[in-house]
């Protein structure tokens, strides 16, 4: 019973459109930062090293970048209201779910093989799959009304 209540409460905070985020993706996160009474957007660009699917609004992902020779990792909740946009820039070929081994690498050894994002064997982003399903349903309704 309490699980239903938690899901209903979390549903009001869930975002409608969330891109598919996988380990090895190079992403740009646009985050709202409040400083006093001013608000600005700060961009953090790095490689996704870990994705915790969680349940509904509890899912998080960890992004790592190297700045001035120091590794910086940030963990973001996917449905956070402070995240305005998540851009997927590139995809790299990885064979692990958690890329923690990248913490020990530096320089050229950090390079990974890049693969195109638009390959057919990649799963469609959730948003596109939902949109195509809605379009198919509306097309069926139009055909039924015409017949």
Supply the CATH number for residue 103's domain. 2.30.30.790
Whether the predicted pLDDT of 129 surpasses 60: no
Examine residue 120 and state whether it is found in any structural domain, yes or no.
no
Which domain range does residue 78 map to?
Answer: 2-115
pLDDT score for 147: 64
H helix intervals, 41-125? none
Examine residue 72 and state whether it is found in any structural domain, yes or no.
yes
Residue of higher predicted confidence among 48 and 123: 48
**Which of 133, 48, 131 is CA-nearest to residue 86?**
48
Percent of the chain with pLDDT over 70: 82
The pTM of this model reads 0.73
Examine residue 140 and state whether it is found in any structural domain, yes or no.
no
Examine residue 17 and state whether it is found in any structural domain, yes or no.
yes
The count of domains in the chain is: 1
Examine residue 64 and state whether it is found in any structural domain, yes or no.
yes
């Amino acid at each position: 019973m309490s699980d239903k209540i938690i899901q209903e409460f979390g549903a009001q905070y869930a975002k409608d459109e969330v891109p598919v985020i996988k380990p090895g993706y190079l992403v740009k996160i646009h985050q709202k930062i409040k400083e006093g009474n001013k608000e600005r957007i700060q961009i953090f660009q790095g490689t996704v090293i870990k994705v915790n699917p969680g349940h509904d609004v509890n899912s998080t992902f960890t992004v790592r970048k190297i700045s001035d020779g120091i590794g910086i990792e940030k963990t973001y909740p996917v449905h956070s209201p402070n995240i305005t946009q998540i851009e997927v820039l590139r995809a790299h070929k990885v064979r692990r779910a958690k890329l923690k081994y990248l913490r020990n690498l530096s320089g050229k050894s950090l390079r990974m093989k890049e693969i195109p994002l638009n390959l057919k064997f990649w799963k469609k982003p959730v948003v596109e799959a939902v949109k195509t399903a809605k379009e198919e349903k509306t097309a069926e309704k139009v055909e039924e009304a015409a017949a």
